Amino acid sequence: MSDDVLSAVVGLELECGLNSRGIEGYRKIMADPRSILLVAIDESAPENIVGVFSSIVILDELQIDNLAVSACARRQGIGQLLLKSTLTIAASLGAHAAVLEVRSANLPARRFYEKNDFIVVGIRKRYYTAPVDDALLLIREIQKPIINVS
């Protein structure tokens, strides 16, 4: 993620019905070396941001803040690619687990994380507003990268 795509990133998050930290919020976390902020770009139209993944490694935990893929680009593996790339970077930064909260009514996201080995470990009743919904707390292990010493 770079400064020139921030307006598109925020636009995509809002278009996908997610809260966004906004351009100034992104500028702040971009300066934090623990942040892992990735975008997916349409190769045929590089100005077109089709995916965004924002997260931060706190101690040994990757905290996932937002993942959004443009409606016209879903079910093509973009979300999975962003997640896997982030997990690889997070492992190299010392993360052992990835965590996030998801709306219980957000079935596509729940299926996505289930497919990617996340499990539900908690529920926060009526955590979300507009509309009111429970938050599910999801977690998965992150394996250390395998280093070939031979």
Ligand X SMILES: CC(C)(COP(=O)(O)OP(=O)(O)OC[C@H]1O[C@@H](n2cnc3c(N)ncnc32)[C@H](O)[C@@H]1OP(=O)(O)O)[C@@H](O)C(=O)NCCC(=O)NCCS
Does 118 contact ligand X by CB under 6 A?
no
Q: Which is nearer to ligand X, 60 or 117 (CB)?
A: 117
- The binding track of 8-47 with respect to ligand X, each residue x by CB under 6 A or -, is --------x-x-----------------------------
Size of the site for ligand X (CB under 6 A): 20
CA neighbours closer than 13 Å in the CB half-sphere of residue 81: 14
Decide whether 33 or 131 has the Cβ nearer to ligand X: 131
Is the CB of residue 136 less than 8 Å from the CB of residue 122?
A: yes
Answer yes or no: are the C-beta atoms of 113 and 100 closer than 8 Å. yes
Euclidean distance between CA atoms 89 and 101, whole angstroms = 21
What count of other Cβ atoms lies within 10 Å of the Cβ of residue 88?
12
How distant is the alpha carbon of residue 104 from its chain centre? Answer: 17
By CB under 6 A, is residue 52 in contact with ligand X? Answer: no
The answer to whether residue 111 forms part of the interface with ligand X (CB under 6 A) is yes
Binding site for ligand X (CB under 6 A): 16, 18, 67-69, 74-80, 100, 102, 106, 108-109, 111-112, 115
